[in-house]
C-alpha cells in the first residue's frame, strides 16, 4: 500500500477514481479483521449516508497494538518528552502500550463503562491520554477528547451534548512556566453534567485537588492493579470510534462522528504515504507531530495513524517557546527525530524569535518536514524549508479537516512534487472539485472557487452527534450532491491545489478553529454588551486574529476595563484561545434594512482595506461605517 514513485501515485490515483471499491478493498486487506466486509461501500450524499467495509468485524486497537507484538514488542511506540527540560523522558514500547491500554480498559469496565458509552477525556499531553483513548476503543466505548485549554463551561457543553458517563482527567498540567489546574476545571464543569458517574484522575503534577468521594477515583490507586490483558471488543466497521467537537459558522460546536473501519484504513494509508516513514522493526525513523491530542491532528497522527502503521513517535508535553524558542529544535536533536509535523503558526513564531534559536542545533536527523492546520504563507514555507529542512527534506503541506479524519490534499514526501504554499495534489481516493457560488463546477486550470469533494473516502464524517440534520445542512446542502469543505481554493496551471482559507464564518487562529458566532455569544454574556460582531483579520504570527466590534451604550466602565472584562468573559465561556486581539467599541453596526450585519464591511475595516468597502448604500445607516473607520484599531 506504499506508493514509491510519482508514476505509482498517478496509477494509484487513477485506479482509486475508476474502481474505488476495488482500490480500498485492496488497502483494507492489510489489516486484521475478525470478519471481512460484505460490501466495500454504500453511499448517498443527500442523506448523507456513508458506510465503508459493511459488516466487517474487528477492533482498531488489535490493529494498532496486538498485531505488532510478535515482531515489535520491544519497538518504541512512544517517546514522551516532558515540559521541563530536566525532567525524565519516558519510553513506551508496543508491549508496554498493550499492557497499559489493557489496564485502563479493565479499569473503565470496573467503573461501569460499556460498549457504546461515551467517555470524555480532558487531559494534557502525557502518554496516559493516548492510553485512555485506546482503552476506550479497546472496550468499544466512544471517546470524546476535549482540548485541555477549553474552559469549564466549554467542557460542560461538550460533556452534556454526548452524555458522557465517565471523565478522565489529571490533577494539573504543565505548560511552559505554568502549572495549570485541570481537575478543578472538571469539578466545575460536572456540576451541570448529570450524566457523569465517575471521574478517573491521573496524578501528574501533584497539585492539590478536591476529592469528591462519590465520584472520584485516583488512577494510580486502581489502574496498576488491573489486569494487563483485556480481550478487544468485537466492533462493527460502522460502530462509532470517537466524537470530536469542532466549530462551525453557526451555533455551538458540533460533535463530528468518526467510525472504526474507514477511519482505521484511511489514517494508516495517509500516514504511510504522506510521510513515507520506515516502520520496520529496527528502523530508526521517529515521527513527531506537535499537535495536541485534543485536535483531530493529534487523534489521527499521534494516537492512531502512527500506531496502526507500527511506527515510533514523540509525544511532547510542553510548548515551542519554553524554556526558549529553540525547544523544538533541541528535542529534534535529542531524540533524532526524522519526520517532523507542525503548524504554520509555530513556524512563524519561531522564525520571529530569531535564527539564534536554531543555529545551535544540527537538525541533521530530519528527513521529512510537514505543515498542517492553516495555509502556510510562502515566507514561512521558505524559512521552514531552508532553516529546518536545510533544503534537503521534502516539505509536505497537508490539507484536511476534523470532518475528513485524515489528510486529503498533500504531496507524498519525496515522491510527488512540492510547491511553496500549495498543498498540491489530492491523495488517491480523493476527488476534489471547485465550484462557483451557484454550485457550478469550475473546470480547467488556473481557476479559483469553493472547494468540494464529489466522492466519499473511508474516513469522511458520518454524522454530527445527536443531530444528523445539522451534518446534512453544514456539509451536504450548500452544493447538492457534494461535500462542501468551507474552504476557498485555487488550482494552478499544473492542477496543484492551494487552499486560500475559509469562505464561511469560521476563523483559524493559530491553527485553532473558532466560530465567529461562538465568540459573539460569549461576548454578549457580558451585562453591558448589547450586540457584537466578530471577524477575522490577517495576523503575522497567528495567521488570523480576532477583531470584535461591540455595542455597549450604557456602560459606566472606562473602555479599557470593559475590554478586560470581555476578555475574561470569553476565557470563561470558551477558553483563552478565543480571546479577541482587538475590541472596538462602536455605537452601531453596519446592517441591511432587513437587519443583517454586513460582515464583509467589518472584515474589510479590520483588514485595513478601507478603499474597497463596496456598496454601502443599502445600509440602514451608512454613517456608522464612517464612525467605525474612524475608530479602527
Ligand atoms: C481547516 C480545518 C487539518 C487538521 C487541523 C485543522 C484549515 C488545515 C490546512 C492547510 C490550508 C488548512 C482549513 C480547514 N487548514 N490544513 N494545509 N492549508 N488550510 O483541522 O480544526 O478541522 O480545521 O483548517 O481552513 O478547513 P480543523
Per-residue model confidence as pLDDT tens digits over 154-190: 999 999 999 999 999 999 999 999 999 999 999 999 9
Q: How confident is the model at residue 1 (pLDDT cuts 50, 70, 90)?
A: confident
Q: Which of 519, 483, 486 is nearest to 502 (CA)?
A: 486
What percentage of the chain's residues is helix, strand, coil (to nearest 5)? 35, 25, 40
Ligand 1 close to Cβ of residue 205 (< 6 A): no
- The reported pLDDT for the residue numbered 594 is 87
Q: Is residue 609 part of a domain?
A: yes
Ligand 1 close to Cβ of residue 513 (< 6 A): yes
Ligand 1 close to Cβ of residue 397 (< 6 A): yes
Q: Which of 273, 303, 271 is nearest to 77 (CA)?
A: 303
Q: How far apart, in whole angstroms, are the C-alpha atoms of residue 165 and residue 146?
A: 15
The alpha carbon of 373 and the centre of ligand 1 are apart by a number of angstroms equal to: 4
Per-residue cell: 166? 465517565
Asked if pLDDT for residue 613 goes beyond 90, the answer is no
Asked if pLDDT for residue 360 goes beyond 90, the answer is yes
Q: How far apart, in whole angstroms, are the C-alpha atoms of residue 393 and residue 73?
A: 30
CATH number at residue 562: 3.30.300.30
Q: How confident is the model at residue 614 (pLDDT cuts 50, 70, 90)?
A: confident
Which protein residue's CA is at the shortest distance from atom 11 of ligand 1? 375
Q: Which of 259, 295, 258, 253 is nearest to 470 (CA)?
A: 253
The alpha carbon of 401 and the centre of ligand 1 are apart by a number of angstroms equal to: 5
Number of independent structural domains in the chain: 1
Range of the domain at 521: 507-630
Q: What digits encode the pLDDT tens for the residues 311-334?
A: 999 999 999 999 999 999 999 999
Task: Dihedral sign for Cα 238, 22, 35, 267, please.
Answer: negative
Q: How far apart, in whole angstroms, are the C-alpha atoms of residue 509 and residue 544?
A: 5
Asked if pLDDT for residue 421 goes beyond 90, the answer is yes
The alpha carbon of 374 and the centre of ligand 1 are apart by a number of angstroms equal to: 5
Q: Is residue 287 part of a domain?
A: no
Q: What percent of the chain has pLDDT over 70?
A: 100
Q: Is residue 148 part of a domain?
A: no
Q: For a substitution probing ligand 1, which of 149, 248, 271, 374 has the most ligand atoms within 8 Å of its CB?
A: 374
Ligand 1 close to Cβ of residue 423 (< 6 A): yes
Average pLDDT over residues 604-618: 87
Nearest atom (ligand 1) to Cα of 410: 17
Nearest atom (ligand 1) to Cα of 506: 25
Q: Is residue 451 part of a domain?
A: no
Which protein residue's CA is at the shortest distance from atom 6 of ligand 1? 373
Asked if pLDDT for residue 545 goes beyond 90, the answer is yes
Q: What digits encode the pLDDT tens for the residues 6-42?
A: 999 999 999 999 999 999 999 999 999 999 999 999 9
Nearest atom (ligand 1) to Cα of 375: 11
Residue 48, preceding peptide bond in cis (omega within 30° of 0):
yes
Average pLDDT over residues 257-270: 98
Distance of CA 469 to the CA centre of its chain: 23
Average pLDDT over residues 459-473: 98
Average pLDDT over residues 75-84: 98
Ligand 1 close to Cβ of residue 484 (< 6 A): no
For the chain, the average pLDDT equals: 97
- The reported pLDDT for the residue numbered 113 is 98
Ligand 1 close to Cβ of residue 306 (< 6 A): no
* DSSP label of 578: G
Q: How confident is the model at residue 630 (pLDDT cuts 50, 70, 90)?
A: very high
pTM of the full structure: 0.97
Asked if pLDDT for residue 608 goes beyond 90, the answer is yes
* Higher pLDDT, residue 250 or 577: 577
The alpha carbon of 511 and the centre of ligand 1 are apart by a number of angstroms equal to: 7
Q: For a substitution probing ligand 1, which of 255, 305, 370, 400 has the most ligand atoms within 8 Å of its CB?
A: 400
| R_g (Cα) of the chain, nearest Å | 24
Q: Is residue 597 part of a domain?
A: yes
Q: How far apart, in whole angstroms, are the C-alpha atoms of residue 258 and residue 463?
A: 8
- The reported pLDDT for the residue numbered 341 is 98
- List the beta strands (DSSP E) in 192-236: 198-202, 216-218, 235-236
Q: Is residue 114 part of a domain?
A: no
- The reported pLDDT for the residue numbered 135 is 99
Q: Is residue 548 part of a domain?
A: yes
Asked if pLDDT for residue 621 goes beyond 90, the answer is no
Q: How confident is the model at residue 622 (pLDDT cuts 50, 70, 90)?
A: confident
Using DSSP, state whether 517 is helix, strand or coil. helix
Nearest atom (ligand 1) to Cα of 403: 22
Average pLDDT over residues 469-485: 97
Average pLDDT over residues 342-366: 97
- The reported pLDDT for the residue numbered 618 is 82
Q: Are 430 and 12 in contact (CB under 8 A)?
A: no
Nearest atom (ligand 1) to Cα of 423: 17
Q: Are 451 and 411 in contact (CB under 8 A)?
A: no
The alpha carbon of 428 and the centre of ligand 1 are apart by a number of angstroms equal to: 19
Q: How far apart, in whole angstroms, are the C-alpha atoms of residue 289 and residue 351?
A: 19
Q: How confident is the model at residue 441 (pLDDT cuts 50, 70, 90)?
A: very high
Average pLDDT over residues 384-392: 98
Asked if pLDDT for residue 358 goes beyond 90, the answer is yes
Q: How confident is the model at residue 612 (pLDDT cuts 50, 70, 90)?
A: confident
Q: For a substitution probing ligand 1, which of 401, 453, 514 has the most ligand atoms within 8 Å of its CB?
A: 401
Which protein residue's CA is at the shortest distance from atom 23 of ligand 1? 401
Which protein residue's CA is at the shortest distance from atom 19 of ligand 1? 374
Amino acid at each position: 500500500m506504499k506508493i514509491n514513485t510519482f508514476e505509482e501515485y498517478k496509477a494509484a490515483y487513477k485506479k482509486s477514481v475508476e474502481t474505488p471499491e476495488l482500490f480500498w478493498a485492496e488497502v483494507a486487506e492489510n489489516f486484521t479483521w475478525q470478519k471481512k466486509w460484505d460490501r466495500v461501500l454504500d453511499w448517498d450524499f443527500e442523506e448523507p449516508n456513508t458506510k465503508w467495509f459493511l459488516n466487517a468485524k474487528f477492533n482498531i486497537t488489535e490493529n494498532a497494538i496486538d498485531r505488532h507484538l510478535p515482531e515489535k514488542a520491544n519497538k518504541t511506540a512512544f517517546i514522551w518528552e516532558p515540559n521541563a527540560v530536566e525532567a525524565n523522558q519516558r519510553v513506551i514500547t508496543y508491549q508496554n502500550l498493550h499492557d497499559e491500554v489493557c489496564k485502563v480498559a479493565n479499569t473503565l469496565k470496573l467503573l461501569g463503562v460499556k460498549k457504546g458509552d461515551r467517555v470524555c477525556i480532558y487531559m494534557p499531553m502525557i502518554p496516559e491520554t493516548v492510553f485512555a483513548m485506546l482503552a476506550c476503543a479497546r472496550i468499544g466505548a466512544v471517546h470524546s477528547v476535549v482540548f485541555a485549554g477549553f474552559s469549564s463551561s466549554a467542557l460542560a457543553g461538550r460533556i452534556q451534548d454526548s452524555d458522557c458517563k465517565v471523565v478522565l482527567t489529571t490533577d494539573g498540567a504543565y505548560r511552559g512556566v505554568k502549572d495549570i489546574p485541570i481537575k478543578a476545571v472538571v469539578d466545575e464543569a460536572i456540576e451541570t453534567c448529570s450524566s457523569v458517574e465517575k471521574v478517573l484522575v491521573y496524578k501528574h503534577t501533584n497539585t492539590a485537588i478536591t476529592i469528591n468521594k462519590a465520584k472520584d477515583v485516583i488512577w494510580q490507586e486502581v489502574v496498576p492493579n488491573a489486569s494487563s490483558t483485556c480481550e478487544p471488543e468485537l466492533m462493527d466497521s460502522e460502530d462509532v470510534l470517537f466524537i470530536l467537537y469542532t466549530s462551525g459558522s453557526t451555533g455551538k460546536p458540533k460533535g463530528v462522528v468518526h467510525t472504526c473501519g474507514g477511519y482505521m484504513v484511511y489514517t494508516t494509508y495517509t500516514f504511510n504515504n504522506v510521510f513515507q516513514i520506515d516502520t520496520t522493526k529496527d528502523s530508526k525513523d521517529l515521527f513527531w507531530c506537535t499537535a495536541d491530542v485534543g485536535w483531530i491532528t493529534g487523534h489521527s497522527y499521534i494516537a492512531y495513524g502512527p500506531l496502526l502503521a507500527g511506527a515510533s513517535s514523540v509525544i511532547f508535553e510542553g510548548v515551542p517557546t519554553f524554556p526558549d524558542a529553540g525547544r523544538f529544535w533541541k528535542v529534534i536533536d535529542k531524540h533524532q527525530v526524522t519526520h517532523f509535523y507542525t503548524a504554520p503558526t509555530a513556524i512563524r513564531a519561531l522564525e520571529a524569535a530569531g535564527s539564534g534559536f536554531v543555529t545551535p542545533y544540527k537538525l541533521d536527523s530530519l528527513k521529512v518536514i510537514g505543515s498542517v492546520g492553516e495555509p502556510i504563507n510562502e515566507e514561512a514555507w521558505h524559512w521552514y524549508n531552508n532553516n529546518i529542512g536545510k533544503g534537503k527534506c521534502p516539505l509536505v503541506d497537508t490539507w484536511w479537516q476534523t470532518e475528513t479524519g485524515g489528510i486529503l490534499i498533500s504531496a507524498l514526501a519525496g515522491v510527488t512534487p512540492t510547491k511553496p504554499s500549495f498543498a498540491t495534489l489530492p491523495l488517491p481516493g480523493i476527488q476534489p472539485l471547485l465550484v462557483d457560488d451557484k454550485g457550478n463546477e469550475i473546470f480547467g486550470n488556473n481557476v479559483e472557487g469553493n472547494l468540494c469533494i464529489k466522492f466519499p473516502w473511508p474516513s469522511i464524517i458520518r454524522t454530527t452527534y445527536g443531530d444528523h440534520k445539522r451534518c446534512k445542512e453544514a456539509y451536504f446542502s450548500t452544493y447538492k450532491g457534494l461535500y462542501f469543505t468551507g474552504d476557498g481554493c485555487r488550482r494552478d496551471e499544473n492542477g496543484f491545489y492551494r487552499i486560500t482559507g475559509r469562505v464561511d464564518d469560521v476563523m483559524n487562529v493559530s491553527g485553532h478553529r473558532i466560530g465567529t458566532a461562538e465568540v459573539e455569544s460569549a461576548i454578549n454574556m457580558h451585562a453591558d454588551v448589547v450586540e457584537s460582531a466578530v471577524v477575522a483579520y490577517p495576523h503575522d504570527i497567528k495567521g488570523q486574529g480576532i477583531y470584535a466590534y461591540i455595542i455597549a451604550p450604557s456602560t459606566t466602565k472606562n473602555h479599557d476595563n470593559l475590554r478586560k472584562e470581555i476578555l475574561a468573559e470569553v476565557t470563561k465561556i470558551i477558553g483563552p484561545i478565543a480571546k479577541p486581539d482587538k475590541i472596538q467599541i462602536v455605537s452601531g453596526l453596519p446592517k441591511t434594512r432587513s437587519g443583517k450585519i454586513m460582515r464583509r464591511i467589518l472584515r474589510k475595516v479590520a483588514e485595513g482595506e478601507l478603499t474597497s468597502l463596496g456598496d454601502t448604500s443599502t445600509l440602514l445607516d451608512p454613517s456608522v461605517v464612517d464612525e467605525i473607520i474612524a475608530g479602527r484599531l
